[in-house]
Amino acid sequence: MVRSMTGFAQAQGEEGAWTLSVTVKALNHRFLDLHLRLPGELEPLEPRLRDLIRARVGRGHLEVQFQVESRGRRPLQADEDFVRSYLELYNQLRREHNLSGEPDLMGVLRLPGVLRAGERSPAPEESGRLAGLAERALTEALERLNEMRGAEGAALERELRERLRHIAEGQKKLARLGERALPAYHKRLTERLQELLGQAPLDPARLAQEAAYLAERSDVSEELTRLASHAQQFAHLLDSDGTLGKQLDFLLQEMNRETNTILSKTSGLQADGLEMTRLGLEIKAQIERLREQVQNVE
């Protein structure tokens, strides 16, 4: 089954006084490039969470971010540096302007920025439940991510198979043209050799042998056979599970190499050679489009 490497998913849950959310964003990458952002409460879980991700995602740039919030009462904290600066300024102004009186505590506490809600750490008995919540939420988010990547992969697979079909059609046309073009090319080579040699004595069998040798250099039947074999392997891979992208890309490199050889060999076949070159270029264009598309296959 083909899966794309791009996707986005979220999941959240609650456990006691804690609310947890996780966001997963996936992009293309040659390998598994994992970026995990955890709040302090979950840092001890990092190895376990990384293992969960690796078990479900084989390739891609992955950004995973957790957020944890407490729904219980949070302790108030005073910004002591701010209060100290305020009192120093108050005393300085009082001395400079001969003012009397003392600062009002409630007035100080009401100043913006003096009080803030502190962070609440999970109690020992809550830590285990919070860890379980994190694992469940991550598993759910990864399942949603893979559902999205699977849906995109199904559409991508249809496009890949359609391009394979065009390549197979071109390969068959090339094979038929080659069967017709080589005998005619062999005949032209024989006639040309006879013209060049003129009256020079030459064994007819040797002449035919040399012409056959030159004609075989334009025979692309082996390249077409290998091209068809690589295309079949490509199609079989699309039916399998796991990380396929690198294997598909390797096969396309081999298919491109065979196509380049075909284009090189058929360049001198005159009329049939022009048609074979056109077909070879069409196949090469399809292979290039396939290579672009498999960059998004996991």
pLDDT in tens, 11-31: 999 887 789 999 999 999 989
CB atoms within 10 A of CB 79: 14
What confidence tier does 281 reach under pLDDT thresholds 50, 70, 90? very high
pLDDT in tens, 159-181: 999 999 999 999 999 988 877 76
Q: What is the pTM of this model?
A: 0.70
Give one word for 101, left, alpha or beta, with left for phi > 0 and alpha for psi -120 to 50: left
Tell me how far the alpha carbon of residue 105 is from its chain's centroid. 60
CB atoms within 10 A of CB 45: 19
Tell me how far the alpha carbon of residue 289 is from its chain's centroid. 16
**What is the C-alpha separation between 163 and 174, in angstroms, rounded?**
17
Q: Which of 127-141, 153-167, 209-223 has the highest mean pLDDT?
A: 153-167
Region 242-257: mean pLDDT is 95
Which residue segments constitute the domains of the chain, with CATH numbers given? Answer: 7-73+123-150 (3.30.230), 76-117 (no CATH), 153-294 (no CATH)
Say whether pLDDT at 123 is over 80.
Answer: no
The dihedral over CA atoms of 51, 54, 55, 61, expressed in degrees to the nearest 10, equals 150
Tokens of 223: 């390249």
